[in-house]
């Protein structure tokens, strides 16, 4: 006999954990904030464990909560997919969102996750293109822009959904040059020996993010460091491809390189020297605030970012104590 908690509480927990809070869960489930809080309390009482860490400003998951989310979220996706096959609802007229996003984010983070959104919202089509804001002018034909940095336009709404940090990354063939080198001195500062090895490599830079190397050097207290050679590219994703090919060391966004780091295709020699960078923000014009497709896409982005950050935090904690 299966030991299952009240399924409504389980559904409410999955929404709150995936979206990162009571308010977005209430909006998705079309219930009150109080109803969500009550269902979460009921589930924790039934299980006898705390699923959420309420000490921080943002509702965070405990280790038990992360474990439950990893099991429940794919299970609910499978149930929804099965129901859609067995008893499909007549769909309303299809909506289509035209989304502009940075190429590196699109290739390494957004595209691998889009199947999840399309499964949840088969009535919404997504079209990706590379039209981007130029000098504050909204790109024609675009519904949503994903960009880095705060929205400063009074006629647009900006919703931060994912934090970012940067650190040098390279192929394993170059990472071996740091083998046996003391990376950090007492107190956490990068050692002179390690910085000397880094300076001896070719640095890969991107015109789209020209300040990343300088920003990291300031953060790492290595502003005087000068590379032996540099190779420049138009886009960050090209610099990263060159790093994967072993051409040199690229300054890489940590949040987008999870798969490459996990597989060992890229190595971060200074994994704990993560310089905080501008967050990713979803931007749309104020007159579209009631648009159901934009609201669904925004809620999905927040949920994906929350799960991604939880996975990265869990992976880093395991590495720290392994």
Give 249-292 pLDDT, tens digit per residue: 999 999 999 889 989 999 999 988 999 999 999 999 988 888 99
pLDDT reported for residue 187: 60
What are the extents of the domains in the chain?
7-86, 95-160+280-321, 165-277
pLDDT reported for residue 318: 43
Show the tokens assigned to 273: 């020297």
pLDDT reported for residue 150: 77
Strand order in the sheet with 229-233: 124-129, 95-100, 144-148, 275-285, 156-169, 249-253, 202-206, 229-233
Is there a shared CATH topology between the 7-86 domain and the 95-160+280-321 domain? no
pLDDT reported for residue 188: 67
Q: Which CATH superfamily is domain 165-277 in?
A: Periplasmic binding protein-like II (3.40.190.10)
CATH number for domain 95-160+280-321, candidates 3.40.50.300, 1.10.10.10, 3.30.390.30, 3.40.190.10:
3.40.190.10
Mean predicted confidence (pLDDT) in 102-109: 90
Burial status of residue 252 (CB atoms within 10 A of its CB: 0-12, 13-18, 19 or more): buried
Burial status of residue 137 (CB atoms within 10 A of its CB: 0-12, 13-18, 19 or more): exposed
Show the tokens assigned to 115: 């199947």
Q: Residue 19: beta bridge partners?
A: none
Mean predicted confidence (pLDDT) in 132-154: 79
pLDDT reported for residue 315: 55
Q: Which numeric CATH code is attached to 7-86?
A: 1.10.10.10
Q: What is the DSSP letter of 171?
A: -
What's the pLDDT band for 97 if we cut at 50, 70, 90?
A: very high
């Amino acid at each position: 006999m299966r030991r299952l908690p009240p399924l409504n509480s389980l559904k409410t927990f999955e929404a709150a954990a995936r979206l990162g809070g009571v308010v977005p869960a209430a909006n998705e489930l079309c219930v009150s904030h109080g109803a969500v809080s009550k269902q979460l309390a009921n589930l924790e009482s039934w299980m006898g464990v705390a699923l959420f860490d309420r000490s921080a400003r943002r509702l965070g998951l405990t280790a038990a909560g992360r474990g439950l989310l990893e099991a429940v979220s794919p299970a609910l996706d499978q149930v929804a997919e099965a129901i859609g096959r067995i008893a499909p609802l007549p769909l309303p007229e299809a909506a289509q969102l035209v989304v502009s996003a940075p190429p590196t984010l699109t290739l390494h983070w957004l595209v691998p996750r889009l199947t999840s959104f399309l499964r949840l919202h088969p009535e919404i089509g997504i079209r990706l293109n590379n039209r981007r804001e130029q000098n504050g002018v909204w790109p024609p034909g675009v519904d949503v822009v994903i960009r880095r940095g705060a929205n400063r336009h009074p006629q647009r709404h900006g919703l931060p959904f994912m934090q970012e940090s940067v650190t040098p990354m390279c192929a394993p063939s170059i990472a071996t040059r740091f083998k046996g080198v003391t990376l950090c001195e007492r107190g956490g500062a990068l050692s002179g020996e390690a910085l000397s090895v880094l300076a001896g490599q070719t640095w890969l830079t991107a015109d789209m993010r020209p300040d990343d190397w300088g920003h990291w050097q300031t953060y790492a207290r290595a502003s005087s460091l000068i590379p032996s050679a540099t190779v420049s590219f138009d886009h960050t994703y090209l610099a990263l491809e060159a790093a994967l090919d072993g051409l040199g060391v690229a300054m890489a966004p940590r949040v987008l390189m999870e798969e490459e780091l996990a597989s060992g295709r890229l190595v971060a020699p200074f994994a704990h020297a993560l310089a905080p960078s501008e967050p990713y923000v979803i931007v749309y014009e104020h007159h579209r605030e009631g648009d159901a497709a934009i609201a669904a896409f925004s809620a999905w982005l927040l949920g994906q970012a929350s799960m991604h950050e939880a996975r990265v935090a869990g992976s880093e904690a395991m590495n720290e104590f392994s």
